[in-house]
Amino acid sequence: MRSPKGAVRSLTGTGLVVTALVATAAALLFPLWSYRDRAGPGTGAADLTAGSVSTRFGPLSAADRDFVARVRQAGLWELPAGQQAMERGGTAAVKRAGEHLVEGHTSLDRHVRDVAARLGVDLPSQPTAEQRGWLSGLDAAHGAAYDREFVGVLRLAHGRVFALVGQIRAATRNAAVRELAEDANATVLDHMKVLEDTGLVDFDALAARLGAPAAPPSPPGAAVTGPAPSAVTPSAGPPSSSSVSPPSPEAPSPSPSSQASSQASSPASPSPSEGN
């Protein structure tokens, strides 16, 4: 038989082991719980399902709603920019790019308004102050400078929103948003190609600009703009952000200035804010 002292020692030892195991489990679980609760913009899939509401097309997340708004916002300035390029473009390639923008955004705008009506998503109805600035920059440019500015700012915008469209298409659980993202993907890709076909895209400046951190997504219901203009675009226009954004392109920034390169390959400078 154990002595009373031995029994006490045994119980004490068992208690210490149990306490240590509990502490270890807590230490392992706490970081996971803590990370989940601290998830914010840029933490990946957690963001894409946050703020979800139920619809007959599947869950609609805050990211889905923001994307729908960005698609609409992009068309509000890229469509008039395309119309202007059809009239003022100095080369057949620039005029053709403008024509593709008009056709693509006319069709995409019909689609996004239909999706928004079915899902109960509010859409912007006017270009943002930043987007109006980009349009003013195009108004002020002439000749070859106009062609460079048009290609530079539009290719940057489409590049920004292209990444957003892919992210939404990959992660959304809403069938209507998924369909819109597929339409936006095809439209944005077509626009990038025709802009690159002009031979005026400065890919070095574009890569540097697209590699810069993007602005955080706008809260649901807020006006969304596309990527801010960069060295890819010429002067004139305000400072520098989707749908499937981008996007629409979406906060005012300095005037775009660019140096065009002669090769082929398109937030806005946006919502993309495309964002296209």
Show the tokens assigned to 196: 């690159």
Contact 128, 225 (CB under 8 A): yes
Residues recorded for the chain: 276
How does pLDDT run along the chain (276 residues), one tens digit per residue?
555 555 545 555 565 555 555 555 554 444 333 333 333 334 344 466 678 899 999 999 999 999 999 999 999 999 999 999 999 999 999 999 999 999 999 999 999 999 999 999 999 999 999 899 999 999 999 999 999 999 999 999 999 899 899 999 999 999 999 999 999 999 999 999 999 999 999 999 999 988 865 444 444 444 444 444 443 444 444 434 333 334 444 444 444 444 443 433 344 444 444 444
The dihedral sign for the CA sequence 129, 135, 137, 140: negative
Tell which residue, 248, 244, 240, 239, has the closest CA to residue 267: 248
What pLDDT does 102 receive? 98
- To which residue do tokens 């990370």 refer? 35
Tell which residue, 129, 118, 151, has the closest CA to residue 253: 129
What is each CA distance from 143 to 13, 49, 73, 76, in whole angstroms?
Answer: 87, 47, 28, 24
What pLDDT does 209 receive? 87
What pLDDT does 87 receive? 97
